[in-house]
Chain A
Amino acid sequence: MAEVKMALDGANKDLSASYMMWYRFSRNPAAVIGTLIVLSAVIFAILAPYITPKPEDVGAVVNFRARHLPPDATHWFGTDKVGRDIFSRAVFGLRISLLLVIGVLGISVPIGTVLGLAAGYFGGWTERIITGLTNVMLAMPPLVMALAVSNLLQPTLMNAMIAITLLWWTWHARLIYAVSKSVASEDFIEAARIAGAGPMHILFREILPNCVSVISVKTTLDAAFVILFGATLSFLGFGVKPPTPDLGSMVADGRQFMPDFWWEVLCPGAVILYVTLGFNLLGDGLRDMFDMEG
């Protein structure tokens, strides 16, 4: 097989790496669908005030005449117990979810990456301390940890974000540690050291580029988990404060009216499903694109 692969590699030399990646990506229907879903979610979230039928329903609006209306042409997802348009609120909820993703991953991914790179390359005490800390953090049940943090502070979006971030970097640290450790033993790392390169250059210019594919796949798949985790926290009442719409708290609010007013649970739930599915498909597509094994 090695020989066959080599023959093919040789034959593909005239193709650029970006073309090969684009080819693999575009031939994967799941990846394309995932991209479209994520893109649509992002566009909806950004344009929420302009495209939702009743943006004012995001606030503390009460319209008892319109309460518990089933889905129809004006209220696509129906209305909730105080007569607010669920579709409008869900789109704004999506906005909160994506903000949470950006906040959590924007902080935890760089932290996890740097710690993982350092642990894998330096070895010794650096490795022991970082992996030890990672293992301790990983041993804590994430939900309990998040509840504790939210409880200590105020149940706000910011605190939910802090709670999730405190846990999330560990997964990245562990993953990047494994990649970094294997890349660090390659000849080209020693070659760079002999050339005179310092640790900063080796970590960020030599090893990091070899982790980019792993990081982007993991981050994309993580986005789905962060949304779910955030929704879980809100569902339990530790997330976003009412009346700010959040997909998790919307599901929690609607729960008491099941099964009669099913749309109050199912519609926000479907939005959660839609966006997490999108991120998962996109992550799988990226994995194929980078031609990773396993």
Chain B
Amino acid sequence: MSDALLKVEGLDVLFTSYGQTRQVLRDISFTVGAGERVALIGETGSGKSVTAKAILGTLPRNATVSAGRIEVAGRNVLELPRGERDALKGSAFSLIMQDPLSSFNPVFKIGTHLDDVLRFADRREGVKSSRAERRARIAAVLRRVQLADPDRVMNAYPSELSGGMRQRVLIGLALLHQPKLLIADEPGTALDVTTQDEILNLINTLVAEEGMALLMITHNLGVVRKVADRVVVMRHGDIVEAGPCAKILASPEHEYTIGLLDAVPPLYGPRVQTQQISAQAPIVSATGLGKEFGRHGKRFTAVKDVSIALREGEIFGLAGESGSGKTTVARMMMGLSRPTSGSVSVDGTPNPGRPLAQIVYQNPGTSLNPKRTVKQSLGLPLKYAGLTGGARDARMAELMELVRLPVSYLAKYPHELSGGQKQRVAIARALAADPKVLILDEPTAALDVSVQKTVIELLLQLREELGLTYFMISHDLSLMRNFCSRLAIMLRGEIVEEGATPEIFADPKHPYTRALIAAIPVVTDDEERHKPAVSPEERAAFLVKTTD
């Protein structure tokens, strides 16, 4: 394409660390035409962000571009002097940053932040502008990202805005100079699914209205379907497949893409957890649980009148967005936190003093002590279970086998393991004391989708082998559809809907459940068609406000 806005050709990037040089990008070539929406998709370590950094000229110091060209509007930016390259930023392309909180300096008001950006850009171009005039331009841009009261936003500190609003401001920031190409690095990833959905809609609207081109960096195939015309699939620094979005998602050719698509839990179709647990006595039951936080009169009700009966052998899922109170409920049910009202009984005994369940945490990076080996981490619960010497070593080997890790990994430190391996160690540690119940606190949220699939499969197998009961907390409804046998949906501290998983997905009763399901980015048209209908009033009533 000769009129390509962005043309990357044969790009090789090397990283040097600890005296070793590694190639992290190999022969990357793709183009983004005017008005075209292209997605770079890949998992951890695929090189998608390195590619974006190479385009933006923000590679870390130990990186070198060893071959290739990056043409923006017909000029090879790699050969441009620093100043000219900087001048391209903003006018030719600009970046929407990923993390809406850390992208702002917390001590400056939003208006000051935006004004600085504009002032420096004007100075660079030798344009004189007054503060009032810049303020008007900022207000106009904020209106374009659907923030209806720009004055209020400009006078607010970053912490006073919701995550969605901050993300909107970041998009506005990228629009300040009417760029021809927007580069978006995982926008909305840090936000709740309903908010993310709105942000993606906004990006789509803006790109269509302004005729901008979009380069979207993401790991989420559903996001790709929603915002891209073409997809470039990357793995380990190579492009494995590229083509029109519809074609790649419907009939991928490369086995990696096929595997990636297969790993995404579908929102519609046969892969739903249908197993039902017959009316057994509940292993843990909570009645009228409530929890308040805060003191000195300023009290905040996190959980209100929640009753749950966890039956032996089931996989119970508690779904909700951030701040819904789902983690607080799980902690109270497992005796890790004392309820303000209501009671928990275990096997018929009310309010047990000690935890009866083990937890698998969301982020294995923080749930394993970085200074202790796998052996030491596993050894701890075994020591308190009274195992020593040979018996303990045998049990450790058994646990490693259970989670499908080689016994030799016992000597490793967490940083020597991949995310999936770390999570397996965390699962092994949770299993060490032979618990009846495992709490799974978003056990795969920090993992790549292909790794998520293997961890979920492992959990299902372990449940078969050991007869475990799972209590899962998550915001990912499509994953829960494939994993949990029963679901409860939480909104602002209350359970709004509860039932067997297939029933909830077939006929969601509560409008919030419908809104949640509808917001999930999906991969196929089939899934899109089967999403429940949500009226604008329902959206407005239940979704966190991202505008003002």
Contact = CB atoms under 8 A, between A and B. Distances in A.
A197 B384 contact: yes
Contacts of B384: 195-197
Interface string A264-285: 0000000000000000000000
Given A4-B50, A11-B22, A194-B355, A209 B372 contact: yes
Contacts of A17: 413, 415
A187 interface: yes
A136 interface: no
A8 B369 contact: no
Interface string B402-445: 00000000000101111000000010010011000000000000
B47 interface: yes
Given A4-B53, A7-B50, A188-B366, A209 B380 contact: no
A12 interface: yes
Contacts of A212: 371
A206 B372 contact: yes
A19 B413 CA distance: 14
Interface stretch (B13-21, B82-90, B174-182, B290-298): B13-21
Nearest to A24: B18
Given A187-B363, A195-B384, A201-B380, A11 B15 contact: yes
Contacts of A11: 15, 17, 22, 24, 45
A8, A186, A194, A197: residue with the most chain B Cβ atoms closer than 10 Å: A194
A15 to B, nearest CB: 6
Interface in A81-129: none
A293 B354 CA distance: 39
A197 B369 CA distance: 14
A3 B368 CA distance: 21
Contact of A195 (B20, B47, B416, B429): B429
B473 to A, nearest CB: 14
A191 interface: yes
B381 A15 contact: no
A4 B355 contact: no
B66 interface: no
Contact of B19 (A6, A23, A192): A23
Interface string A1-41: 10110111111110101011001000000000000000000
Contacts of A4: 49-50, 53, 60, 63
Contacts of A63: none
A156 B432 CA distance: 57
Nearest to B50: A4
A23 B17 CA distance: 10
Contacts of B426: 191
A210 interface: yes
Contacts of A209: 369, 371-372
Given A6-B44, A10-B44, A195 B433 contact: yes
Contacts of B216: none
Given A10-B45, A17-B415, A187-B361, A197 B380 contact: yes
Contacts of B385: 196
Contact of B432 (A3, A195, A206): A195
Contacts of B60: 1, 4
Contacts of B17: 8, 11-12
Contacts of B324: none
B459 to A, nearest CB: 17
B45 A6 contact: yes
Interface string A204-217: 01100110100000
A191 B384 CA distance: 13
B367 interface: yes
Interface string B265-309: 000000000000000000000000000000000000000000000
Contacts of B358: 194
Contacts of A20: 18
Contacts of B381: 195-196
Contacts of A192: 369, 380
B370 interface: yes
B516 interface: no
Contact of A3 (B15, B18, B49, B429): B49
Interface in B360-378: 361, 363, 366-372, 376-377
B415 to A, nearest CB: 7
A15 B372 CA distance: 17
A210 B369 contact: yes
Contact of B15 (A8, A197, A206): A8
Given A7-B24, A195-B384, A187 B45 contact: no
Contacts of B369: 186, 188, 192, 206, 209-210
A146 B176 CA distance: 61
B415 A195 contact: no
Interface string B378-412: 00110111000000000000000000000000000
B18 A19 contact: yes
Contacts of B53: 4
Given A12-B17, A195-B432, A196-B433, 18 more contacts: A4-B60, A4-B63, A7-B47, A9-B415, A10-B45, A19-B18, A23-B18, A186-B369, A187-B366, A188-B366, A188-B367, A188-B368, A191-B359, A191-B367, A194-B355, A195-B433, A196-B385, A197-B384
8 contacts: A4-B60, A4-B63, A7-B24, A15-B18, A15-B20, A194-B336, A195-B384, A209-B372
Interface of A: 1, 3-4, 6-13, 15, 17, 19-20, 23, 186-188, 190-192, 194-197, 201, 205-206, 209-210, 212
Question: What 9 A-B pairs have minimum CB-CB distances, sorted nearest first?
Answer: A196-B384, A209-B371, A3-B49, A195-B381, A187-B367, A188-B369, A187-B361, A7-B45, A23-B18
